[in-house]
Chain A
Amino acid sequence: SAVISQKPSRDICQRGTSLTIQCQVDSQVTMMFWYRQQPGQSLTLIATANQGSEATYESGFVIDKFPISRPNLTFSTLTVSNMSPEDSSIYLCSAWRRDGYTFGSGTRLTVV
């Protein structure tokens, strides 16, 4: 499977600010995804990061709050904008190739 480097691994941010999370894959992948895992909860898909076009967002998530970039087949970023304490979560990126899924190690975000 592909290997993903995700950073930062954790951050503590002030409310009202924005944080950009990066995921770098060691090889070209077909699809990339961003998930949120709220404290004690399961993983919820935020969006599918499309290479060269706008991301496809799931119900309840919007581009203004979670802008996503995917400039090429190995890299994607997720920005959490205008943060509030409710955004405190673990954010994970995932990559899919024909040989399966890989997950980044996650970004643990705390908003104060």
Chain B
Amino acid sequence: GEDVEQSLFLSVREGDSSVINCTYTDSSSTYLYWYKQEPGAGLQLLTYIFSNMDMKQDQRLTVLLNKKDKHLSLRIADTQTGDSAIYFCAESFDHGSSNTGKLIFGQGTTLQVKP
């Protein structure tokens, strides 16, 4: 079965880097995603990585994927107070999987950025 796990809370100082970690169990995932949810708001897609890649950089965001260890991380450089939110990792699956099209989410990591 599929299972996605994250640490629940991370606190950093403004200007520092934040690293949010995620582990998953199902190696048949196709894409891995990072979503941001601000209080009272919907889900915002931040970035995603194809499962055969090991790194993707997008401005302040760096995603690292270790397929062997089934470990995904999101690094936010120069973290700002506006980055305070809940961050969810999620995995999706290819055609032929019983989970085709579904997104399986982790529990979410609350990022607190202190001024």
- The interface of chain A, by Cβ under 8 A from chain B, is 1, 30-31, 33, 41-45, 48, 92, 94, 96, 100-101, 103-106, 108
Q: Which residue of chain A lies nearest to B1 when distances are taken between CB atoms in the complex?
A: A59
**Contact partner, A43, options B48, B88, B92, B101, Cβ 8 Å:** B88
- The interface of chain B, by Cβ under 8 A from chain A, is 33, 40-43, 45, 48, 88, 92, 101-108
Please tell me if the beta carbons of A42 and B107 are within 8 angstroms of each other in the complex: yes
Q: Which residue of chain A lies nearest to B103 when distances are taken between CB atoms in the complex?
A: A101
Please tell me if the beta carbons of B42 and A100 are within 8 angstroms of each other in the complex: no
Q: How far is the CA of A92 from the CA of B37 in the complex (A)?
A: 13
Find chain A residues with CB under 8 A from B104 CB.
45
Find chain A residues with CB under 8 A from B92 CB.
101
Q: How far is the CB of B91 from chain A (nearest CB, A)?
A: 12
Please tell me if the beta carbons of A105 and B42 are within 8 angstroms of each other in the complex: yes
Q: How far is the CB of B73 from chain A (nearest CB, A)?
A: 18
Q: How far is the CA of A106 from the CA of B41 in the complex (A)?
A: 8
Q: How far is the CA of A94 from the CA of B42 in the complex (A)?
A: 11
**Contact partner, A31, options B40, B48, B101, B105, Cβ 8 Å:** B101
Q: Which residue of chain A lies nearest to B89 when distances are taken between CB atoms in the complex?
A: A42
Q: A30-B101, A33-B102, A43-B88 are in contact. Are A104 and B107 (CB under 8 A)?
A: no
Q: How far is the CB of B88 from chain A (nearest CB, A)?
A: 7
Q: Can you list 18 contacts pairing A with B, beta carbon distance less than 8 Å?
A: A1-B45, A30-B101, A31-B101, A33-B102, A42-B88, A42-B106, A42-B107, A43-B88, A44-B105, A45-B104, A48-B101, A48-B102, A94-B103, A96-B101, A100-B45, A101-B103, A103-B43, A106-B42
Please tell me if the beta carbons of A101 and B102 are within 8 angstroms of each other in the complex: no
Find chain A residues with CB under 8 A from B43 CB.
43, 92, 103
Find chain A residues with CB under 8 A from B40 CB.
108
Q: How far is the CA of A45 from the CA of B82 in the complex (A)?
A: 28
**Contact partner, B108, options A31, A42, A48, A94, Cβ 8 Å:** A42
Please tell me if the beta carbons of A45 and B101 are within 8 angstroms of each other in the complex: no
Q: How far is the CB of A92 from chain B (nearest CB, A)?
A: 7
